[in-house]
Structure 1
Amino acid sequence: MSEPQDDEEAFAEETLIQAIENQLEAGDPPAAQATLNKLTLVGYEREESIKLMALALAREIRQMLDEDRPFDAEGYETLLRGLPELPE
């Protein structure tokens, strides 16, 4: 049987990946599709690209919660455009 924390992490990852897929489908933000295009162009597989994008989304959500502020769409787009490099 898996550990509860592992289950929670898997659920969080799947939720973030679904959020990225939803952004791509909706075309909003436009930086999502541009980032996916860039990452696949430089050799990342689609699945790996989506996971990197999910990490950027997770970072923005974490900062939003830590700082008790609204979601910063501009900051999130900056994170996306900076991929594959991720800030600490």
Structure 2
Amino acid sequence: MEETELVDSLVPAVEEQLQSKDTTYVRKTYQRLLKLDDIDDALALRMIALCLADESNRMFIDKRNFDELRYQELLNALPDLPEA
């Protein structure tokens, strides 16, 4: 699966996180991104999905559980994207 396909496949998960009371930090990031010039709904969702993909990939590589703190740090750094 290519990176673009992976990110696109995670957008529904991000949309669920936006609705969850357990991941309010995702909603805050989304709202913050929408206030920036040149970032629309679709781009904000994809940027967050890219952070989710990055953390999911790191989980697989490091053979560890999901690191919610690292995910939050990636979100806080947006619109700067995680390095490949």
Query: Shorter chain as normaliser: what TM range?
Result: 0.7 to 0.9
Ranges in structure 1 where 5+ consecutive residues have no aligned partner: none
Instruction: After the TM superposition, list the runs of 4 or more consecutive aligned residues in structure 1 that deviate by more than 3 angstroms.
Output: none
In the alignment, which of 35, 55, 58 is matched to residue 53 of structure 2?
58
- 2:28 aligned partner: 34
Checking the alignment, whether the CA contact within 8 Å between 1:27 and 1:33 is kept in structure 2 is no
Identity %: 31
User: Which digits, 9 at most, give the CA deviation of each residue in 1:21-69, with x for residues without a partner?
Assistant: 0000113311101111110011210110000000000000000000000
* Structural RMSD (CA): 1.8
Q: Are positions 1:78 and 2:57 aligned together?
A: no
- Following the alignment from structure 2 to structure 1, what is the Cα–Cα distance between the partners of residues 8 and 82? 22
Structure label with greater radius of gyration = 1
How many residue pairs get aligned? The number is 82
Residue 81 of structure 1: CA displacement? 1.0
Checking the alignment, whether the CA contact within 8 Å between 2:55 and 2:66 is kept in structure 1 is yes
- 1:14 aligned partner: 8
Which residue identity lines up with residue 32 of structure 2 in the other structure? K
